[in-house]
Structure 1
Amino acid sequence: MNIFVNFVLLLLLISFVESAKHIKSIKMKPSGWDSQLENRLVNKRHKKRIHCPSGTVPILRTKNKNVLYSQEYSKNHFNFLTAQYPGTHIAGVRTEGKNIYRGVGARISTYDLSIGKDQSSSAHTYVATQSNDDSNSIQVGWMINERLFGNKQPWSYGSWLGKHGSGCFNVQCPGFIQVNKENPISEPLSNDKETKNWWLTNIKPFGIRIVVGYWPNELFNVLRDGADFVGYGGIVTSDPRGPSPPMGNGRLPNIDDRLWSGSIDHLNIIDSNYTIVGANDIKSVPLVDSNKCYDVYYRGYVDDDVGVSLSYGGPGGFKCGY
């Protein structure tokens, strides 16, 4: 098990402008951002880390087939309320009822799993809004998906679903605006009070936050002024004719052992007043569509080192259903 894994990526440098031609102006930091805290950590980074020239950002080199697959995957497999696509299963929790949320945060443990080429397994936290038949969402976390990333390692990712059915992974198509010259897209995310953009930050040691980039408000139609729901958990996908892959670390949750299965802790929510509150103060409901193979256990507040946490996951197999 690894926490806060920094993945080494094959990088391609492009300019801010070329990565977001559809956005009128690019914001470099959220409103009210304390740059001094960020600079203290930047000066201590390892000398071998890639430093992109001014005006450029790190972008993962990819192929056309990966771009097309990422667009298809984000639209078909990520529904924040149900596992509606055949071969997709979920185990997690989301907030109960509709409120206004400005952001969400969590510490998500990563695991090495045996995943087939046509399978995927991920853990994430998300914000989402649904209005009639329309929905918008943003998810961030880690995923094992060979078709998407080219190998069977866990990768950090960010995915969005916006207006008119648009959506994508990471920066494989227009949408997410990468602004950090050294840290590729990672977790968690929050909303910017002035611009209404959804910013993504990476929590480093000593609580220092590094701005990675943001999803512009223009991408969305029902997620523009806040989210109705926030949630945490895991998702797996596979060919419905075959076995389902493992989720989390491949074990079902054990009530007596927090680390027996997949773990997500330090669950936090940013409320309508832009105040960070513990998820323990928010009513939540479990979302599990195949309890023969996967499950979730919401533990609430554990201690100061863990905060609010949940355990999730399972072995998968042939009896998980559609």
Structure 2
Amino acid sequence: MKPSFSISKPKSQVKNKIEGKKIIECPNGTVPILRNTKEYVARAQYWEKKHFNPHTVGSHGTHYAGVKSQGDGPYHGLAAYMSVHDLNISRDQTSYASIFVGSGDNKKINFIQTGWMVNPSLFGDGRTWSFGVWKGANGTGCYNTICPGFVQVSKTDLLSAPFPYPHKGQERAVYASIVQEKDIGNWWVTDVRYDRPDVHIGYWPKELFDLIGNSVDMVGVAGAVQASPSGISPPMGNGQLPSEDENKSAHVKGVQIVHSDFKYSKKLKLEKLLDDNKCYGLKDGKKQFFKESNLFTYGGPGGNSCGI
């Protein structure tokens, strides 16, 4: 299966030499699915309730730094390049970065997110994993494939898998997109490639949602953390406060949005998201923010004085 996209891939590809996700080789006619144990399902349900949601700001102990576009829609998706990092955090914390699409009102919320995450409690180890999470009609939704919803299509790229440790001199990153099919309405997640064909991992059927079957009113990309119950917040990004130098900071670039015409655009009206400037930061890149590079750096060390 392939998406019936009537739009092309992002116009300006990020040319960095990157180390991506681990590739699985499944036989023709089969796809890789992460094994769901009872413990994994229970942990995923717990963390799904605490997940950062840009419509409702977040749960107790959540902090975030990023950008969103709202009020200039409707939108049908976005793409962004996110640097990937290893972090040393406790089992009752999580730290991640993701692109997101969604719509909401006072009573209902629909959203989809995908990116990378360090969450020892959820994944059972301290490695950095890719992930996807969704919230749909009647409060349904979950991480990855622990409940019926996401349809895995690629036989090589999983929605959720550990990133291999980087080779010396290589940057780990994920260049991902969430894009809606024009005619069918399903929401596809794709690994965008610079010099190779994109890999369409799979999709969330439009029938899962009651607010985003036709479009969304908000898209964005952000780093986020969830503090432990003791109040200690984990590091975000690469654990360093951001600088203008992307080589020293966690960074996002190549942000492009799919507007109502189902075409990618680099002309963005973005709102900055930063709820805590004591423990985390958000900076423009070397080129001016919202210009051609669409680059920003973010992150911070966390600690025990980051607020609630």
Correspondence 1:240-259 to 2 at 5 A: 240-254=229-243, 256-259=244-247
Contact in 2 for aligned 1:300/1:308 (Cα 8 Å): no
Correspondence 1:76-95 to 2 at 5 A: 76-95=50-69
- Between 96-105 and 218-227, report the one with greater CA deviation: 96-105
2:293 pairs with one of 294, 299, 307: 307
2:213 pairs with one of 216, 224, 235: 224
Q: Distance in 2 between matches of 1:84 and 1:109?
A: 23
- Structure 2 unaligned spans of 5+: 8-21, 161-175
Contact in 2 for aligned 1:75/1:167 (Cα 8 Å): no
Q: How many residues align?
A: 277
Q: Report the alpha carbon displacement of residue 32 of structure 1 after superposing the two structures with TM.
A: 4.4
Q: Distance in 2 between matches of 1:277 and 1:92?
A: 19
1:234 pairs with one of 217, 223, 235: 223
- 1:58 aligns to what? 32
Contact in 2 for aligned 1:107/1:265 (Cα 8 Å): yes
Contact in 1 for aligned 2:111/2:136 (Cα 8 Å): yes
2:282 corresponds to which letter in structure 1?
A: V
| Cα separation, partners in 2 of 1:72 and 1:49, compared to 1, 3 Å | closer
- Structure 1 unaligned spans of 5+: 1-27, 35-47
Contact in 2 for aligned 1:86/1:240 (Cα 8 Å): no
Q: Distance in 1 between matches of 2:245 and 2:251?
A: 10
Contact in 1 for aligned 2:98/2:221 (Cα 8 Å): yes
| Cα separation, partners in 2 of 1:74 and 1:287, compared to 1, 3 Å | same
Q: Distance in 2 between matches of 1:59 and 1:289?
A: 36
* Higher RCO (Cα < 8 Å, 6 or more apart): 2
Does 1:162 pair with 2:136? yes
1:176-205 Cα offsets, whole Å, 9 max, x none, are: 000111111173221101110001111234
- 1:261 aligns to what? 249
Q: Distance in 2 between matches of 1:77 and 1:315?
A: 20
CA RMSD of aligned residues (A): 2.2
Could you say what secondary structure the match of 1:69 adopts? Answer: helix
Q: Report the alpha carbon displacement of residue 77 of structure 1 after superposing the two structures with TM.
A: 1.9
Could you say what secondary structure the match of 1:89 adopts? Answer: strand
- 2:265 aligns to what? 277
Q: Distance in 2 between matches of 1:49 and 1:76?
A: 29
Contact in 2 for aligned 1:298/1:310 (Cα 8 Å): yes
- 1:38 aligns to what? none
2:282 pairs with one of 286, 290, 296: 296
Correspondence 1:177-196 to 2 at 5 A: 177-185=151-159, 187-196=176-185
Q: Report the alpha carbon displacement of residue 170 of structure 1 after superposing the two structures with TM.
A: 1.1
Q: Distance in 1 between matches of 2:184 and 2:287?
A: 33
Contact in 2 for aligned 1:261/1:314 (Cα 8 Å): no
TM-score (norm 1): 0.80
1:241-300 Cα offsets, whole Å, 9 max, x none, are: 23100000111122x32333210111111111110111xx22111111111011212449
Q: Report the alpha carbon displacement of residue 302 of structure 1 after superposing the two structures with TM.
A: 6.3
TM-score (norm 2): 0.84
